[in-house]
Structure 1
Amino acid sequence: MGTVTKIQLMEDGDIWIRVALDSGRHTQFMISDYCNEDGHAYLTQAYAQTVYSSQGLTIDGDVFVFYTQYLDRAHSYVACSRHKVKAHIFANAEELSELIPSDFEHAPIEIGLREALAAQMSRDNRPKLAIEYLTNDQISLLNLEKQKEYELAFC
């Protein structure tokens, strides 16, 4: 990622671009070197990033996080820990109003919304293995069956 510092239209119609990279280095290139066969450049604005693409980044300053229903505990941690100064969380009150915990229904709406947001951002949505859904008795039974299959295979 970087900041475009200069653009120049060349005589042949091509476009020359100079970029100050976020790493501190500078680069320059002809737009034709980054186009597909239809002439569309492989460049995009980076005003915002997904949580996934921000992993490993540190932002000198504030970050602004837009809450969606997909932000669980792991995503919230990554999104809200990219900054050196502050993390600002923005959310849709309508989306959260349906999720206000029952013990906060009569509290001021701001408190209820904050509690709903905290509960949603604390959820563990990581994919689970099948074995995590089984009881210890079910696991023991499966292990016994596998042992019998193993014994039969070597008889």
Structure 2
Amino acid sequence: MGCGVDEVVAAFHRVAEVITAHRDELVDLDRAIGDGDHGENLTRGFTAVRASLDGGEHGSPAEVLKLVASTLISTVGGAAGPLYGTALLRAAKAVPDRVELGPEDVAAALAAALEGVVARGRAEAGDKTMVDALVPAVAAAERAVGDGGDT
């Protein structure tokens, strides 16, 4: 079973719910190492994502990824907007003509997202950045594909 437009849209709606529910926690975590605006920035960005996704029809998963990317780039301050945006644009480029994403497509999109974050942020595993979460996610997705897993 694959992952079509409706599933990708639903996944981003779920991400928005989780970000909103954990806004204060994200603020507190960021306050320990920065200016404490990360939770607010992501909440603002994903509130805009929800509105963008609800604003029309989407032809493909890649189109959804591009829409979310551009929305985050334009609404999330600091480095996060460009990093998430680059990740999602690279993911979209990895699956441009797919109407439905299979496991291999999801793994390829995650790998491309990781490459985008590394290129944009010049980070590598061990730098205590989002790369440290993406590296094992890509490895898990690739293992799941090898084990015959589904999306």
Specify the TM-score bucket, using the shorter chain as the normaliser. under 0.3
Larger Rg: 1
Q: Which structure dedicates a bigger proportion of its chain to helix?
A: 2
Q: What TM-score, normalized to structure 1?
A: 0.21
Higher relative contact order (CA 8 A, sep 6+): 2
Q: Which has the higher strand share?
A: 1
**TM-score normalised to the size of structure 2?**
0.22
